[in-house]
Chains A and B, each alone.
Chain A
Protein backbone atom coordinates (compact mmCIF):
# COMPACT_ATOMS: atom_id res chain seq x y z
CA UNK A 1 0.00 0.00 0.00
CA UNK A 2 1.37 3.34 -0.98
CA UNK A 3 1.97 5.64 1.90
CA UNK A 4 0.09 8.89 1.51
CA UNK A 5 2.09 11.76 2.83
CA UNK A 6 0.58 15.17 2.94
CA UNK A 7 2.03 17.14 0.02
CA UNK A 8 4.36 19.98 0.80
CA UNK A 9 2.79 23.35 1.33
CA UNK A 10 2.50 25.55 -1.71
CA UNK A 11 4.34 28.82 -1.76
CA UNK A 12 3.33 31.87 -3.73
CA UNK A 13 5.34 30.69 -6.70
CA UNK A 14 3.52 27.37 -6.71
CA UNK A 15 0.14 29.04 -6.41
CA UNK A 16 0.90 31.52 -9.15
CA UNK A 17 2.41 28.93 -11.47
CA UNK A 18 -0.43 26.51 -10.95
CA UNK A 19 -3.02 29.20 -11.57
CA UNK A 20 -1.24 30.31 -14.73
CA UNK A 21 -1.08 26.73 -15.99
CA UNK A 22 -4.83 26.59 -15.54
CA UNK A 23 -5.34 29.85 -17.38
CA UNK A 24 -6.04 31.90 -14.32
CA UNK A 25 -4.22 35.12 -13.54
CA UNK A 26 -1.63 35.03 -10.83
CA UNK A 27 -2.71 36.88 -7.71
CA UNK A 28 -1.28 40.18 -6.57
CA UNK A 29 1.94 38.56 -5.41
CA UNK A 30 2.67 37.28 -8.87
CA UNK A 31 4.08 40.60 -10.02
CA UNK A 32 6.83 40.45 -7.43
CA UNK A 33 8.07 37.00 -8.30
CA UNK A 34 11.30 36.26 -10.02
CA UNK A 35 10.27 35.67 -13.65
CA UNK A 36 12.83 32.95 -14.15
CA UNK A 37 11.74 31.04 -11.07
CA UNK A 38 8.11 31.43 -12.00
CA UNK A 39 8.75 30.30 -15.56
CA UNK A 40 10.60 27.20 -14.37
CA UNK A 41 7.77 26.33 -12.01
CA UNK A 42 5.20 26.80 -14.74
CA UNK A 43 7.20 24.49 -16.95
CA UNK A 44 7.34 21.82 -14.27
CA UNK A 45 3.64 22.06 -13.55
CA UNK A 46 2.75 21.92 -17.24
CA UNK A 47 4.66 18.67 -17.47
CA UNK A 48 2.73 17.32 -14.53
CA UNK A 49 -0.57 18.45 -15.94
CA UNK A 50 0.21 16.90 -19.31
CA UNK A 51 1.20 13.63 -17.68
CA UNK A 52 -2.00 13.46 -15.69
CA UNK A 53 -4.01 14.34 -18.77
CA UNK A 54 -2.33 11.70 -20.91
CA UNK A 55 -4.97 9.98 -22.95
CA UNK A 56 -6.66 7.20 -21.12
CA UNK A 57 -7.67 4.25 -23.21
CA UNK A 58 -11.25 3.33 -22.57
CA UNK A 59 -12.14 -0.31 -22.06
CA UNK A 60 -13.26 -2.47 -24.94
CA UNK A 61 -16.83 -2.06 -26.10
CA UNK A 62 -17.79 -5.42 -24.65
CA UNK A 63 -16.67 -4.26 -21.23
CA UNK A 64 -18.62 -1.04 -21.57
CA UNK A 65 -21.70 -2.96 -22.66
CA UNK A 66 -21.38 -5.24 -19.68
CA UNK A 67 -20.95 -2.34 -17.25
CA UNK A 68 -24.03 -0.59 -18.55
CA UNK A 69 -26.04 -3.79 -18.58
CA UNK A 70 -25.21 -4.39 -14.94
CA UNK A 71 -26.03 -0.80 -14.04
CA UNK A 72 -29.40 -1.02 -15.73
CA UNK A 73 -30.15 -4.29 -14.00
CA UNK A 74 -29.31 -2.68 -10.68
CA UNK A 75 -32.48 -0.62 -10.90
CA UNK A 76 -34.57 -3.73 -10.47
CA UNK A 77 -32.51 -5.31 -7.75
CA UNK A 78 -31.80 -2.28 -5.60
CA UNK A 79 -31.34 -3.53 -2.05
CA UNK A 80 -33.70 -2.10 0.54
CA UNK A 81 -30.73 -1.09 2.65
CA UNK A 82 -29.26 1.03 -0.11
CA UNK A 83 -29.48 4.56 1.24
CA UNK A 84 -30.04 6.14 -2.12
CA UNK A 85 -32.77 3.76 -3.07
CA UNK A 86 -34.25 3.84 0.35
CA UNK A 87 -34.51 7.57 0.28
CA UNK A 88 -36.02 7.60 -3.14
CA UNK A 89 -38.56 5.03 -2.10
CA UNK A 90 -39.49 6.65 1.15
CA UNK A 91 -43.00 7.82 1.54
CA UNK A 92 -43.57 11.52 2.03
CA UNK A 93 -42.98 12.77 5.52
CA UNK A 94 -46.67 12.98 6.28
CA UNK A 95 -47.04 9.26 5.62
CA UNK A 96 -44.02 8.45 7.75
CA UNK A 97 -45.49 10.51 10.57
CA UNK A 98 -48.70 8.50 10.40
CA UNK A 99 -46.68 5.33 10.52
CA UNK A 100 -44.89 6.58 13.62
CA UNK A 101 -48.20 7.42 15.27
CA UNK A 102 -49.56 3.99 14.38
CA UNK A 103 -46.45 2.35 15.83
CA UNK A 104 -46.83 4.32 19.04
CA UNK A 105 -50.47 3.30 19.35
CA UNK A 106 -49.53 -0.33 18.75
CA UNK A 107 -46.85 -0.13 21.42
CA UNK A 108 -49.32 1.25 23.92
CA UNK A 109 -51.81 -1.44 23.02
CA UNK A 110 -49.17 -4.07 23.69
CA UNK A 111 -48.08 -2.46 26.93
CA UNK A 112 -51.54 -2.18 28.48
CA UNK A 113 -52.07 -5.93 28.94
CA UNK A 114 -48.64 -6.14 30.51
CA UNK A 115 -49.55 -3.46 32.99
CA UNK A 116 -52.81 -5.27 33.68
CA UNK A 117 -51.01 -8.49 34.34
CA UNK A 118 -48.63 -6.79 36.71
CA UNK A 119 -51.60 -5.34 38.53
CA UNK A 120 -53.17 -8.81 38.62
CA UNK A 121 -50.01 -10.19 40.10
CA UNK A 122 -50.17 -7.72 42.91
CA UNK A 123 -53.80 -8.59 43.50
CA UNK A 124 -53.03 -12.30 43.48
CA UNK A 125 -50.32 -11.86 46.02
CA UNK A 126 -52.82 -10.09 48.20
CA UNK A 127 -55.24 -12.95 47.71
CA UNK A 128 -52.59 -15.45 48.66
CA UNK A 129 -52.08 -13.66 51.89
CA UNK A 130 -55.76 -14.04 52.71
CA UNK A 131 -55.81 -17.72 51.75
CA UNK A 132 -58.10 -17.36 48.79
CA UNK A 133 -58.51 -20.36 46.51
CA UNK A 134 -57.48 -20.47 42.91
CA UNK A 135 -59.48 -22.68 40.63
CA UNK A 136 -56.75 -22.47 38.08
CA UNK A 137 -54.74 -24.91 40.09
CA UNK A 138 -56.83 -27.79 38.81
CA UNK A 139 -55.64 -27.20 35.33
CA UNK A 140 -52.14 -26.70 36.49
CA UNK A 141 -52.20 -29.96 38.37
CA UNK A 142 -53.60 -31.63 35.31
CA UNK A 143 -50.83 -30.26 33.22
CA UNK A 144 -48.22 -31.31 35.70
CA UNK A 145 -47.01 -27.97 36.86
CA UNK A 146 -48.10 -28.49 40.40
CA UNK A 147 -47.91 -31.78 42.19
CA UNK A 148 -51.42 -32.80 43.20
CA UNK A 149 -50.30 -33.67 46.63
CA UNK A 150 -48.31 -30.58 47.08
CA UNK A 151 -50.91 -28.93 49.21
CA UNK A 152 -49.52 -25.57 48.44
CA UNK A 153 -51.69 -22.54 48.62
CA UNK A 154 -53.89 -22.46 45.58
CA UNK A 155 -52.35 -19.37 44.17
CA UNK A 156 -48.84 -20.64 44.23
CA UNK A 157 -47.21 -23.26 42.17
CA UNK A 158 -43.84 -24.79 41.59
CA UNK A 159 -41.77 -23.03 39.02
CA UNK A 160 -39.41 -25.18 36.97
CA UNK A 161 -36.77 -24.44 39.51
CA UNK A 162 -38.96 -25.84 42.21
CA UNK A 163 -39.48 -22.87 44.44
CA UNK A 164 -42.98 -21.72 45.13
CA UNK A 165 -43.90 -18.49 43.47
CA UNK A 166 -47.09 -16.58 42.99
CA UNK A 167 -49.34 -18.01 40.31
CA UNK A 168 -48.94 -15.46 37.56
CA UNK A 169 -45.24 -15.23 38.04
CA UNK A 170 -44.94 -18.99 37.86
CA UNK A 171 -47.04 -19.00 34.74
CA UNK A 172 -44.71 -16.53 33.13
CA UNK A 173 -41.78 -18.81 33.69
CA UNK A 174 -43.49 -21.89 32.34
CA UNK A 175 -42.04 -24.31 29.86
CA UNK A 176 -44.84 -24.31 27.32
CA UNK A 177 -46.94 -27.14 25.95
CA UNK A 178 -44.02 -29.39 25.32
CA UNK A 179 -43.46 -31.71 22.40
CA UNK A 180 -46.39 -32.56 20.22
CA UNK A 181 -46.51 -34.68 17.14
CA UNK A 182 -49.59 -33.32 15.45
CA UNK A 183 -51.85 -30.34 15.24
CA UNK A 184 -54.60 -32.42 16.83
CA UNK A 185 -52.45 -33.08 19.82
CA UNK A 186 -51.61 -29.42 20.07
CA UNK A 187 -55.28 -28.47 19.90
CA UNK A 188 -56.12 -31.10 22.47
CA UNK A 189 -53.57 -29.73 24.90
CA UNK A 190 -54.86 -26.24 24.42
CA UNK A 191 -58.47 -27.39 24.80
CA UNK A 192 -57.61 -29.13 28.01
CA UNK A 193 -55.79 -26.22 29.55
CA UNK A 194 -57.44 -23.15 28.14
CA UNK A 195 -60.82 -23.33 29.95
CA UNK A 196 -59.08 -23.15 33.24
CA UNK A 197 -57.10 -20.19 32.05
CA UNK A 198 -60.14 -18.42 30.88
CA UNK A 199 -61.62 -18.64 34.36
CA UNK A 200 -58.47 -17.48 36.06
CA UNK A 201 -57.86 -16.47 38.67
CA UNK A 202 -60.18 -15.83 41.45
CA UNK A 203 -63.33 -17.07 43.10
CA UNK A 204 -64.03 -13.80 44.72
CA UNK A 205 -66.37 -11.37 43.07
CA UNK A 206 -64.55 -10.22 39.98
CA UNK A 207 -63.14 -6.79 40.06
CA UNK A 208 -62.85 -4.71 36.92
CA UNK A 209 -59.10 -5.06 37.09
CA UNK A 210 -59.28 -8.83 36.99
CA UNK A 211 -60.62 -9.79 33.59
CA UNK A 212 -60.80 -13.38 32.54
CA UNK A 213 -58.04 -12.76 30.07
CA UNK A 214 -55.52 -12.13 32.74
CA UNK A 215 -52.67 -13.43 30.69
CA UNK A 216 -53.64 -11.89 27.42
CA UNK A 217 -50.98 -10.36 25.32
CA UNK A 218 -48.31 -10.14 27.92
CA UNK A 219 -47.49 -13.24 29.85
CA UNK A 220 -47.24 -16.87 29.02
CA UNK A 221 -48.47 -19.70 31.08
CA UNK A 222 -47.18 -23.09 31.87
CA UNK A 223 -49.83 -25.62 31.06
CA UNK A 224 -47.72 -28.49 29.95
CA UNK A 225 -44.80 -30.51 31.10
CA UNK A 226 -41.37 -29.05 31.07
CA UNK A 227 -39.61 -29.72 27.80
CA UNK A 228 -36.28 -29.29 26.23
CA UNK A 229 -37.67 -26.51 24.13
CA UNK A 230 -37.09 -24.00 26.83
CA UNK A 231 -39.42 -21.67 28.62
CA UNK A 232 -42.53 -20.36 27.01
CA UNK A 233 -42.34 -16.82 25.75
CA UNK A 234 -43.36 -14.17 28.19
CA UNK A 235 -44.44 -11.71 25.57
CA UNK A 236 -45.29 -11.97 21.95
CA UNK A 237 -44.69 -9.50 19.21
CA UNK A 238 -46.31 -12.07 16.98
CA UNK A 239 -49.63 -11.49 18.71
CA UNK A 240 -49.83 -8.03 17.20
CA UNK A 241 -48.57 -9.30 13.88
CA UNK A 242 -51.15 -12.06 13.74
CA UNK A 243 -53.95 -9.77 14.75
CA UNK A 244 -52.85 -7.27 12.15
CA UNK A 245 -53.46 -9.88 9.49
CA UNK A 246 -56.53 -11.28 11.24
CA UNK A 247 -58.39 -8.24 12.50
CA UNK A 248 -61.28 -10.39 13.64
CA UNK A 249 -59.19 -11.69 16.53
CA UNK A 250 -59.40 -10.30 20.01
CA UNK A 251 -56.20 -10.10 22.08
CA UNK A 252 -54.72 -13.50 22.81
CA UNK A 253 -56.10 -15.41 25.76
CA UNK A 254 -52.91 -17.31 26.12
CA UNK A 255 -49.40 -17.13 24.81
CA UNK A 256 -47.27 -20.19 25.20
CA UNK A 257 -45.01 -22.41 23.20
CA UNK A 258 -44.80 -25.91 21.86
CA UNK A 259 -42.49 -28.02 19.81
CA UNK A 260 -44.38 -29.48 16.88
CA UNK A 261 -42.50 -32.31 15.20
CA UNK A 262 -39.24 -30.80 16.36
CA UNK A 263 -40.04 -27.22 15.36
CA UNK A 264 -40.24 -24.72 18.17
CA UNK A 265 -43.36 -22.62 17.83
CA UNK A 266 -45.03 -19.84 19.66
CA UNK A 267 -48.66 -20.79 20.39
CA UNK A 268 -51.28 -18.07 20.56
CA UNK A 269 -54.73 -18.95 21.77
CA UNK A 270 -57.62 -16.69 20.90
CA UNK A 271 -61.35 -16.81 21.50
CA UNK A 272 -62.84 -18.27 18.36
CA UNK A 273 -66.11 -16.45 18.77
CA UNK A 274 -67.70 -18.92 16.40
CA UNK A 275 -68.49 -22.18 18.08
CA UNK A 276 -69.45 -23.29 21.55
CA UNK A 277 -67.79 -26.63 20.94
CA UNK A 278 -64.61 -25.05 19.67
CA UNK A 279 -64.26 -21.89 21.71
CA UNK A 280 -60.60 -21.40 20.92
CA UNK A 281 -58.62 -20.64 17.89
CA UNK A 282 -55.08 -21.90 18.09
CA UNK A 283 -52.48 -20.17 16.00
CA UNK A 284 -48.90 -21.35 16.14
CA UNK A 285 -46.20 -19.22 14.58
CA UNK A 286 -42.47 -19.34 14.06
CA UNK A 287 -41.07 -16.89 16.60
CA UNK A 288 -38.49 -15.41 14.31
CA UNK A 289 -40.80 -14.15 11.61
CA UNK A 290 -44.31 -14.77 12.97
CA UNK A 291 -45.15 -17.03 10.08
CA UNK A 292 -48.34 -18.94 10.81
CA UNK A 293 -47.77 -22.67 10.86
CA UNK A 294 -50.97 -23.83 12.54
CA UNK A 295 -54.33 -22.15 12.49
CA UNK A 296 -57.25 -24.21 13.75
CA UNK A 297 -60.09 -24.30 16.18
CA UNK A 298 -59.90 -26.12 19.46
Chain B
Protein backbone atom coordinates (compact mmCIF):
# COMPACT_ATOMS: atom_id res chain seq x y z
CA UNK B 1 0.00 0.00 0.00
CA UNK B 2 2.57 2.51 0.95
CA UNK B 3 6.27 2.65 1.30
CA UNK B 4 6.15 6.35 1.94
CA UNK B 5 5.48 7.37 5.45
CA UNK B 6 4.30 10.90 5.84
CA UNK B 7 3.72 10.40 9.50
CA UNK B 8 6.15 12.08 11.80
CA UNK B 9 8.20 13.58 8.98
CA UNK B 10 5.74 16.05 7.56
CA UNK B 11 5.98 19.52 9.12
CA UNK B 12 2.33 20.07 8.33
CA UNK B 13 1.42 16.97 10.25
CA UNK B 14 3.57 18.03 13.16
CA UNK B 15 1.68 21.28 13.22
CA UNK B 16 -1.60 19.42 13.20
CA UNK B 17 -0.49 17.24 16.10
CA UNK B 18 0.53 20.21 18.21
CA UNK B 19 -2.61 22.14 17.39
CA UNK B 20 -4.82 19.14 18.10
CA UNK B 21 -3.09 18.57 21.41
CA UNK B 22 -3.80 22.19 22.23
CA UNK B 23 -7.50 21.60 21.66
CA UNK B 24 -7.93 22.65 18.06
CA UNK B 25 -10.74 20.43 16.81
CA UNK B 26 -10.22 21.35 13.18
CA UNK B 27 -6.61 20.26 13.44
CA UNK B 28 -7.70 17.02 15.06
CA UNK B 29 -10.25 16.49 12.32
CA UNK B 30 -7.57 17.01 9.68
CA UNK B 31 -5.13 14.75 11.51
CA UNK B 32 -7.63 11.92 11.67
CA UNK B 33 -8.49 12.30 8.00
CA UNK B 34 -4.82 12.24 7.14
CA UNK B 35 -4.45 8.80 8.67
CA UNK B 36 -7.89 7.39 8.07
CA UNK B 37 -7.03 5.24 5.06
CA UNK B 38 -4.11 3.58 6.79
CA UNK B 39 -6.02 3.00 9.96
CA UNK B 40 -8.83 1.43 7.99
CA UNK B 41 -6.41 -0.66 5.93
CA UNK B 42 -4.86 -2.15 9.07
CA UNK B 43 -8.27 -2.89 10.47
CA UNK B 44 -9.57 -4.34 7.24
CA UNK B 45 -6.75 -6.82 6.94
CA UNK B 46 -6.63 -7.61 10.64
CA UNK B 47 -10.35 -8.28 11.00
CA UNK B 48 -10.93 -9.82 7.58
CA UNK B 49 -14.26 -8.20 6.81
CA UNK B 50 -15.68 -4.75 6.21
CA UNK B 51 -18.13 -4.73 9.08
CA UNK B 52 -15.63 -5.48 11.81
CA UNK B 53 -13.08 -3.26 10.11
CA UNK B 54 -15.46 -0.31 10.36
CA UNK B 55 -16.08 -0.99 14.02
CA UNK B 56 -12.39 -1.34 14.76
CA UNK B 57 -11.60 1.80 12.79
CA UNK B 58 -14.12 3.75 14.82
CA UNK B 59 -12.66 2.45 18.04
CA UNK B 60 -9.15 3.26 16.87
CA UNK B 61 -10.10 6.82 16.00
CA UNK B 62 -11.71 7.31 19.37
CA UNK B 63 -8.66 5.89 21.11
CA UNK B 64 -6.40 8.14 19.08
CA UNK B 65 -8.50 11.15 19.93
CA UNK B 66 -8.65 10.42 23.61
CA UNK B 67 -5.04 9.43 23.87
CA UNK B 68 -3.55 12.23 21.82
CA UNK B 69 -2.68 14.24 24.90
CA UNK B 70 -0.45 11.37 25.99
CA UNK B 71 1.54 11.33 22.78
CA UNK B 72 4.85 12.93 23.75
CA UNK B 73 6.66 12.86 20.42
CA UNK B 74 9.43 10.52 21.55
CA UNK B 75 8.36 7.95 18.98
CA UNK B 76 7.10 8.67 15.52
CA UNK B 77 3.44 9.58 15.52
CA UNK B 78 2.87 6.75 13.08
CA UNK B 79 4.34 4.23 15.50
CA UNK B 80 2.01 5.37 18.23
CA UNK B 81 -0.98 5.60 15.90
CA UNK B 82 -0.44 2.13 14.47
CA UNK B 83 0.00 0.67 17.91
CA UNK B 84 -3.28 2.18 19.02
CA UNK B 85 -4.93 0.96 15.84
CA UNK B 86 -3.54 -2.54 16.13
CA UNK B 87 -4.74 -2.76 19.71
CA UNK B 88 -8.19 -1.61 18.64
CA UNK B 89 -8.23 -4.35 16.01
CA UNK B 90 -7.13 -6.98 18.51
CA UNK B 91 -9.91 -5.83 20.84
CA UNK B 92 -12.38 -6.15 18.00
CA UNK B 93 -11.15 -9.67 17.28
CA UNK B 94 -11.61 -10.57 20.93
CA UNK B 95 -15.13 -9.20 20.88
CA UNK B 96 -15.91 -11.05 17.68
CA UNK B 97 -14.87 -14.29 19.31
CA UNK B 98 -17.88 -13.85 21.58
CA UNK B 99 -20.44 -13.30 18.85
CA UNK B 100 -21.56 -15.16 15.75
CA UNK B 101 -19.49 -14.63 12.63
CA UNK B 102 -21.38 -13.17 9.67
CA UNK B 103 -21.95 -15.66 6.88
CA UNK B 104 -20.25 -13.48 4.33
CA UNK B 105 -18.81 -10.03 4.20
CA UNK B 106 -18.70 -9.08 0.58
CA UNK B 107 -19.30 -5.38 0.73
CA UNK B 108 -17.34 -4.59 -2.38
CA UNK B 109 -17.67 -1.14 -3.82
CA UNK B 110 -19.04 -2.08 -7.22
CA UNK B 111 -18.72 1.45 -8.43
CA UNK B 112 -14.97 1.04 -8.68
CA UNK B 113 -14.70 0.01 -12.28
CA UNK B 114 -10.95 0.11 -12.61
CA UNK B 115 -8.60 -2.77 -11.93
CA UNK B 116 -9.53 -6.42 -11.87
CA UNK B 117 -13.03 -7.65 -12.44
CA UNK B 118 -15.44 -7.78 -9.55
CA UNK B 119 -15.47 -11.55 -9.59
CA UNK B 120 -11.71 -11.70 -9.46
CA UNK B 121 -11.55 -9.09 -6.73
CA UNK B 122 -14.07 -10.95 -4.62
CA UNK B 123 -12.19 -14.19 -5.10
CA UNK B 124 -8.89 -12.60 -4.17
CA UNK B 125 -10.32 -10.93 -1.13
CA UNK B 126 -12.03 -14.03 0.12
CA UNK B 127 -8.86 -15.96 -0.42
CA UNK B 128 -6.56 -13.58 1.37
CA UNK B 129 -9.09 -12.82 4.11
CA UNK B 130 -9.63 -16.50 4.73
CA UNK B 131 -5.92 -17.12 4.67
CA UNK B 132 -5.15 -14.30 7.07
CA UNK B 133 -7.93 -15.48 9.34
CA UNK B 134 -6.05 -18.70 9.90
CA UNK B 135 -3.09 -16.83 11.34
CA UNK B 136 -3.04 -16.03 15.04
CA UNK B 137 -3.26 -12.26 15.52
CA UNK B 138 0.31 -11.96 16.75
CA UNK B 139 1.48 -13.37 13.43
CA UNK B 140 -1.14 -11.57 11.37
CA UNK B 141 -0.24 -8.14 12.70
CA UNK B 142 3.41 -8.07 11.55
CA UNK B 143 2.45 -9.40 8.12
CA UNK B 144 -0.21 -6.72 7.75
CA UNK B 145 2.02 -3.93 8.99
CA UNK B 146 4.73 -5.03 6.60
CA UNK B 147 2.72 -5.70 3.47
CA UNK B 148 -0.08 -3.20 3.85
CA UNK B 149 1.82 -0.28 5.33
CA UNK B 150 5.33 -1.11 4.24
CA UNK B 151 6.87 -0.68 7.67
CA UNK B 152 10.33 -2.11 8.19
CA UNK B 153 11.10 -4.68 10.84
CA UNK B 154 12.30 -2.16 13.39
CA UNK B 155 9.18 -0.05 12.99
CA UNK B 156 6.95 -3.07 13.28
CA UNK B 157 8.87 -4.07 16.38
CA UNK B 158 8.23 -0.64 17.87
CA UNK B 159 4.54 -0.83 17.08
CA UNK B 160 4.08 -4.33 18.46
CA UNK B 161 6.62 -4.15 21.23
CA UNK B 162 8.69 -7.08 20.04
CA UNK B 163 12.30 -7.33 18.81
CA UNK B 164 12.98 -6.94 15.08
CA UNK B 165 14.30 -10.49 14.96
CA UNK B 166 10.98 -11.76 16.21
CA UNK B 167 9.22 -9.62 13.63
CA UNK B 168 11.30 -11.14 10.89
CA UNK B 169 10.62 -14.65 12.09
CA UNK B 170 6.90 -14.09 12.50
CA UNK B 171 6.59 -12.58 9.06
CA UNK B 172 8.45 -15.51 7.51
CA UNK B 173 6.30 -18.02 9.37
CA UNK B 174 3.15 -16.10 8.54
CA UNK B 175 3.99 -15.97 4.87
CA UNK B 176 4.82 -19.62 4.83
CA UNK B 177 1.41 -20.44 6.26
CA UNK B 178 -0.33 -18.02 3.92
CA UNK B 179 1.48 -19.42 0.90
CA UNK B 180 -0.33 -22.68 1.42
CA UNK B 181 -3.67 -20.86 1.02
CA UNK B 182 -2.86 -18.22 -1.56
CA UNK B 183 -0.87 -20.48 -3.85
CA UNK B 184 -2.95 -23.62 -3.75
CA UNK B 185 -2.26 -24.14 -7.40
CA UNK B 186 1.41 -23.69 -6.80
CA UNK B 187 3.91 -25.96 -5.25
CA UNK B 188 3.79 -25.32 -1.49
CA UNK B 189 7.00 -24.47 0.22
CA UNK B 190 9.15 -27.51 0.82
CA UNK B 191 9.61 -29.29 4.05
CA UNK B 192 12.02 -27.82 6.45
CA UNK B 193 15.05 -29.29 7.99
CA UNK B 194 16.42 -26.36 9.86
CA UNK B 195 13.96 -24.55 12.13
CA UNK B 196 14.01 -21.00 13.18
CA UNK B 197 12.16 -19.80 16.19
CA UNK B 198 11.07 -16.44 17.58
- Flag whether B67 is at the interface (Cβ < 8 A): yes
Instruction: List 12 additional A-B contacts (Cβ < 8 Å) besides A4-B134, A48-B182, A52-B143.
Output: A9-B196, A10-B172, A15-B168, A18-B171, A37-B190, A40-B189, A55-B1, A57-B108, A70-B61, A72-B29, A84-B67, A87-B70
Nearest-CB residue, chain A, relative to B23: A75
How many contacting A-B pairs (Cβ < 8 A)? 188
- Are the CB atoms of B108 and A59 closer together than 8 Å? no
- Are the CB atoms of B54 and A74 closer together than 8 Å? no
**In whole angstroms, what is the CA distance A64 to B130 when docked?**
26
- Are the CB atoms of A58 and B124 closer together than 8 Å? no
Q: B165-185 interface mask toward A, CB cutoff 8 Å, 1 = contact, 0 = none?
A: 000110111111111001100
Q: A60-76 interface mask toward B, CB cutoff 8 Å, 1 = contact, 0 = none?
A: 10011001101110110
| Chain B residues within 8 Å of A, Cβ to Cβ | 1, 25, 28-29, 32-33, 36-37, 40-41, 44-45, 50, 54, 57-58, 61-67, 69-70, 97, 101, 108-109, 112, 115, 124-125, 127-128, 130-137, 139, 143-144, 146-148, 152-153, 168-169, 171-179, 182-183, 186-190, 192-197
Q: What are the residues of chain A within 8 A of B197 when measuring CB–CB? A: 9
**In whole angstroms, what is the CA distance A157 to B130 when docked?**
77
Given the interface pairs A13-B190, A40-B187, A87-B70, the reply to whether A7 lies near B173 with Cβ below 8 Å is: yes
- Are the CB atoms of B44 and A56 closer together than 8 Å? yes
Q: What are the residues of chain B within 8 A of A43 when measuring CB–CB? A: 186
Q: What are the residues of chain A within 8 A of B178 when measuring CB–CB? A: 48, 51-52
Q: What are the residues of chain A within 8 A of B41 when measuring CB–CB? A: 56, 58
- Are the CB atoms of B134 and A56 closer together than 8 Å? no
Nearest chain A CB to B120 CB, angstrom units: 11
- Are the CB atoms of B194 and A12 closer together than 8 Å? yes
Q: What are the residues of chain A within 8 A of B172 when measuring CB–CB? A: 10, 14-15, 17-19
